Structure 1
Amino acid sequence: MLGDLVRLRAVADYQFGRGAGDALFPSDATVEYSKNTGKPRHVEAGGALLASYRPNDGLFTLTIAGARRLLEGTGAPGYTVTILDDVVEAVEGGGNVFAKHVADAGEAIRPGDEVVVVNPGREVIAVGKALLTREEMLRFKTGAAVKIRRGRSRHR
């Protein structure tokens, strides 16, 4: 189990940047395994699900709790999308982020990346998958920028 936690932390470091694994997965984290494959499925700590492991690509999808830990521990500057205040309610309810509502985005974001959506005060609003690069998010005036997987009002 400890070996798996070390490996999962290394995956988080690769996906979100150096230090992300330690910030996201504390030493008391537990790993739930698939009964069919024996591979990791979910990582929990303190009774909260932090992330799910995607066996198809070996990366993580975050929960709101996991995104908060990541942001508190590292700031995750490369993988955050800051949205305008006037769309926070819609996004935290699960609505997608459109390019015209993006105030800023991390330099490392590429389409398909797991991102943390924050308000201007850096509070976690949602987590989802980037559909555009940072440059596209900031330049485009139409189209979806982030497909929301979990909004904070639906997944507290």
Structure 2
Amino acid sequence: MLDVVRAISNYQFGLDVGEKLFPDGTTVEVSKRTGKPKRVYLDGKLLATVRSNDGLIALTFEGAMRLRALLPSGRFRVIVSDDAARFIIEGKSLFSKHVLEADPRILPGDEVLIENNKGELLAVGKAVLSGCEMGKFRRGLAVKVRKVGGETLRES
């Protein structure tokens, strides 16, 4: 089942990401009812879930940190203003007017990594708009935030 999760990762995030994101020793929890992959763990930490509606991967914050280290700079990234960063780490959704920069290859529905302008990972979420639209629109929802960073980010 690990091969299936790796194949999904390669499709979703780019070739050769799967084996690095989910190395040997990764555990895949399988649904008893459907027989499909459900949750992905490494060293007891939940990295991702496989969404039942579309079969794609939804990352946890831990999984997002691993993915960030594997991707080229800027890929699947959305950079936000300092004003918005405070709200993002509280789990609030990201609105277009607070986007400073976004990967133009982002498509609606993509998993995205939300960073502040210092390059610190704040959260992971699901894009509502394309990367090009995020930078141009001044109104509307850009990203539905799903998982936010640890306590250290909240204290700063």
TM-score above 0.5: yes
Alignment equivalent of 1:84, drawn from 81, 97, 100? 81
- SS of the residue 1:111 aligns to: coil
The Cα offsets for residues 109-142 of structure 1, whole Å up to 9 and x where unpaired, read as 1111111111223222111111111111001111
Deviation at 1:72, TM superposition (A): 0.9
Amino acid at match of 1:127: V
Q: Which runs of 5+ in 1 are unaligned?
A: none
Q: Which runs of 5+ in 2 are unaligned?
A: none
Identity fraction in percent: 44
Separation in 1 of the partners of 2:115 and 2:13? Answer: 16
TM-score by length of 1: 0.89
Deviation at 1:76, TM superposition (A): 6.4
The Cα offsets for residues 45-67 of structure 1, whole Å up to 9 and x where unpaired, read as 02211010013211000100000
RMSD between aligned alpha carbons?
Answer: 1.7
Are residue 108 (structure 1) and residue 105 (structure 2) matched? yes
TM-score by length of 2: 0.89
Aligned residues: 152
* Contact map agreement 1:82 1:103 (CA 8 A) in 2: yes
Are residue 5 (structure 1) and residue 5 (structure 2) matched? no
Relative to structure 2, which stretch is displaced further, 37-46 or 63-72?
A: 37-46
Q: 1:19 to 1:118 in 2, by over 3 A?
A: farther
- SS of the residue 2:6 aligns to: helix
* Contact map agreement 1:93 1:152 (CA 8 A) in 2: no
Amino acid at match of 2:50: Y
Alignment equivalent of 1:15, drawn from 8, 12, 17? 12
Alignment equivalent of 1:57, drawn from 54, 58, 65? 54
* Contact map agreement 2:103 2:132 (CA 8 A) in 1: no
Match runs of 1:1-156 below 5 Å:
4-75=1-72, 77-153=74-150
